[in-house]
Amino acid sequence: MAQDPRRENEVKEEESALKTAADPDKLEEIIKRDAKLGRQITGFWYYLTAALGVAMVLFYLYNAGWRPVPSQYHRGIYVLITYVLVFLTYPMWRGSPGHRPSIPDILLAGTSAFVVGYWILEFESLNYRMGMETQLDFYVSLVGVIISLEVCRRVLGLSLTLVGVTFLAYCYFGPYMPDIIAHRGFSVERIVNHVYLKQEGVFGIMADVLVTYVILFIFFGAFLKKSGAGKFFLDLPLALVGKSTGGPAKVAVVASGFFGSVSGSAIANTVSTGAFTIPLMKKAGFRPHVAGAIEPAASTGGMFMPPIMGAGGFLMAEMTGTPYVQIMKMAIFPAFIYFLAVFVMVHFEAKRHGLVGSGDGKEGPGALQILKKEWFMSLPLVIIVAMMLIGYSPGFAAVLATLSCVGVSWLTREYRMGPRQIFEALQEGAKNTLVIGATVGVIGIIVGVIALTGIGLRFSDIIFGLSGGNLPLAILLIGFASLLLGMGVPVTAAYLIIAVLAVPAMSAMLAQHHFQMSFGELEVALPYAATWTLLASHMVVYWFSQSSNISPPVCVAAYAAAAIAGSDPWKTGWNAFNFSKMLFLGPFLFAYSPAFLLSGTGLEIFMAYSTILLGTVIFSALSMGYFLCPTNMVEWVAGALGAILLMFPHIVFDTIGIELHIFVVDAIAVSLFALVYLMQKYRIKKNPKLLLPLHLRT
């Protein structure tokens, strides 16, 4: 039988991509580039950087676990060591890495140590003479700002650096800007003193959150990896779902949930789990670009999976004044919904193509056997969650969980951590903080400029104006802004920038939509409702900010997965976008369903969770165009309407001016779903070939 020419072309394309992208050297090069690794230095400089890195880790573990230090040392030492390590380990130009820092690198490292050290040592004096800074203060600030921009450029490239430069230019040229964003303008001296010396700039919220929470969890992740827990996080999902329909892809989803709960990077999650799951998916019959897409789609969910939620959850806690443990509780169900959506999409993708389990014919250990044999590997994660739930600070919980990794490792001969392994984990932990640490200066510059110029309030006016007060349109505008900014800015930085600019407008619109009050009135009348609107607004922005991991043309996590899969990066990116559709639906749930974030009575929360769960399953199935068999247009429309009614009760009926009780709306939605089921059963009875995999239908 002649093969379909389109399928032949597809196979040739994938084979060609496989020969180039799956080349081991090229794969390593792409992964290193995505991981933003610096030069591999040797000799004296290796020992110096290793000592600095280990000292940083030990200092912050001691600071969080035993004795806190004053604010200037708490923030300043991390910035100082990060800047010095960046200049010593990241070359000035990507094409000339070498194995030792150059003379300019050494001079810049020394200069950065001086300007940051000056801020630390002069901290109290600077507070006394605020507004009457000396000429030396100005020169130190000017050099500090330039140093911060160069650190960012070396590690993250020009995109975020140019965003920082643009904000500085806006601050200076304010009088010449369009009226809607114009301001009186500020002198160079006022600008650099504000963004460098004050605690709302370079040493502001980003630095504070990083040293208080984020880097401690990065250290924990490095120790967890070294302890061998990664094997448990792969073995258990493989035993649970590996042999089911589309099993290897479901393993990728479940394993990414485990890894994502302790990882602060979607790319790191993609690379670490994808190295195992992507070849497994291809072996089971998934096309390379689909296998490469599923992994980053699942890994992106790790950025809002408790207990860590990347760095965003900690920033959210700091900006909203909400205990992190409360944010963690609120985020659990939305994160579960995201992973459920990807899981269901994977299931129906496998059903459509007739793909089963791993198919290797080997009978591996069952889930109960793995739990019985390796259960202790989950102890560090259990400790960190339990300690936060009973009231300990996230930092202290991270310290004890990090120490527990060493103890757990001694329960297995293969991963036992001695002095060498502990030293390697300390080094890896320090190195893993450099990428996010490189954003501290530029993010501080951006936040400082926003505070100085008042552009945040003007941005709120712009959102109100463009949306005309329409909440769905405002949400879409924020989503577009997040995607646009995320094309050149790390997701955590994109979240913080958009949050500072857009959350006030979103909070006001939610207060008006749900409570017919301004946000200020709501804070006085119903403080709990004001808290919900603020957190819901932050969640809208935070979920949207993750889109650059999987949305073309950037989709950095998808490109890393394409390298492992040997697939076309563009096709992989669009397929990752397809499997991540819940990322763009979730923000609307935050805005329209207070119970989604645990706001309301127990019955209201239970009802909302139940309907959203069912709506997610229907939405995920329909988005893949398959349920019992491929869906036709009538079935798709009926199912889509049912899913909308389940996840967004009243919206359709409110739009057409009809008021119905929530139970009536749910009954209509379930009836529509039942109708789709019956229609598909009838079609299958008439044409059994509809149950055949796609490639066998003629």
Quick one: 386 and 364 in the same domain? yes
Residue 643 CB-density burial (10 A; 0-12 exposed, 13-18 middle, 19+ buried)? buried
Predicted confidence (pLDDT) at residue 266 exceeds the cutoff of 70 = yes
Residue range 637-654: mean pLDDT, rounded: 84
Q: Which pLDDT belongs to residue 136?
A: 94
| pLDDT, tens only, 444-469 | 999 899 889 888 778 877 888 888 87
C-alpha–C-alpha distance, residues 509 and 43, integer Å: 58
Of 532, 535, 543, 522, which is closest to residue 475 (Cα–Cα)? 543
Q: What is the mean pLDDT of residues 12-31?
A: 44
Instruction: Report how many domains make up the chain.
Output: 3
pLDDT tens column, 593-608: 989 998 888 888 898 8
pLDDT at 4: 45
Comparing CA positions, the residue from 608, 655, 663 lying closest to residue 472 is 655
* One domain for residues 211 and 195: no
Residues 256, 130 share a domain:
no
Q: At what angle are helices 288-300 and 569-579 packed, to 10 degrees?
A: 50
Give how far Cα 319 sits from Cα of 28, 497, 531, Å: 38, 12, 12
Does residue 443 sit within a domain?
Answer: no
Place of tokens 């712009």: 462
- Burial (CB count <10 Å: 0-12, 13-18, 19+), residue 633: exposed
In a domain, 675, yes or no: yes
Sorting pLDDT into bands at 50, 70 and 90, what band is 361?
A: very low
* 272 three-class SS: helix
Average pLDDT over residues 407-423: 89
For residue 7, what pLDDT band results from cuts at 50, 70 and 90? Answer: very low
How does the average pLDDT of the chain come out, rounded? Answer: 84
Residues 195 and 211 in one domain: no
Q: By the 8 A CB rule, do 41 and 49 touch?
A: yes
Distance CA 540, CA 589 (A): 9
* Contact (CB, 8 A) for 123 and 77: no
Task: State the burial class of residue 189 (Cβ atoms within 10 Å of its Cβ: 0-12, 13-18, 19+).
Answer: middle
In this prediction, residue 97 carries a pLDDT of: 62
Whether residues 367 and 249 share a domain: the answer is yes
CB atoms within 10 A of CB 228: 19
> Which range is most confident: 36-40, 297-301, 460-464?
297-301
Regarding whether 277 and 312 lie in a shared domain, the answer is: yes
My answer on whether 128 and 217 are in the same domain is: no
Close Cβ partners of 514 (under 8 Å, ≥ 6 residues apart): 529, 533, 594
161 or 41: which carries more pLDDT confidence?
A: 161
pLDDT tens sequence across 490-534: 788 888 888 888 898 899 999 988 888 888 889 888 888 889 999
Is 481 part of any domain?
no
Q: How confident is the model at residue 363 (pLDDT cuts 50, 70, 90)?
A: low
The answer to whether residue 385 is domain-embedded is yes
Q: Does residue 15 have a pLDDT over 60?
A: no
Q: For residue 596, is it within any domain?
A: no
Going by pLDDT thresholds of 50, 70 and 90, the confidence category of residue 18 is very low
Of 97-106, 289-298, 503-512, 574-583, which range is least confident?
97-106
Element holding 407 (H helix, E strand) = helix 394-409
Answer for the pair 566, 573: CB distance below 8 angstroms, yes or no. Answer: no
> Is 20 among the domain residues?
no
Domain of residue 160, residue span: 35-199
235 and 370 Cβ atoms separated by less than 8 Å: yes
pTM (predicted TM-score): 0.84
Q: Quote the DSSP letter at residue 285.
A: T
pLDDT at residue 38 in the model: 67
Please tell me whether residues 184 and 227 are part of one structural domain: no
Signed CA dihedral, 38, 41, 45, 46: sign only: positive
| DSSP states along 363-406 | ----HHHHHHHHGGGGHHHHHHHHHHHTT--HHHHHHHHHHHHH
Indicate if the pLDDT at residue 240 is higher than 70.
Answer: yes
- Domain final position from 405, 437, 469: 437
Q: Are 189 and 276 contained in the same domain? A: no
Q: Give the pLDDT band of residue 425 (cuts 50, 70, 90).
A: very high
Judgement on whether residues 139 and 236 belong to the same structural domain of the protein? no
144-158, 263-277, 416-430, 658-672: range with lowest mean pLDDT: 263-277
Inside any domain, residue 371: yes
Q: Is residue 200 pLDDT above 90, yes or no?
A: no
**Predicted local confidence at residue 5, as pLDDT:** 44
Q: According to the per-residue pLDDT averaged within each range, which of 107-121, 127-141, 276-290, 538-552 is highest?
A: 107-121
Residues 375 and 404 in one domain: yes
pLDDT at 190 (0 to 100): 93
Q: Is the pLDDT of residue 30 over 60?
A: no
Task: Among 199, 219, 239, identify where a domain stops.
Answer: 199
Are residues 361 and 308 both part of a single domain? yes
In a domain, 476, yes or no: no
**Final residue belonging to a domain, choices 199, 230, 254:** 199
Q: Where are the alpha helices (DSSP H) in 66-198?
A: 71-89, 103-121, 123-128, 135-156, 158-172, 188-197
The whole-angstrom separation of Cα 420 and Cα 224 is 15
CA distance 201 to 618: 46
pLDDT digits (tens, 9 = 90+) for 62-112: 998 888 889 899 999 999 999 999 999 998 876 666 678 889 999 999 999
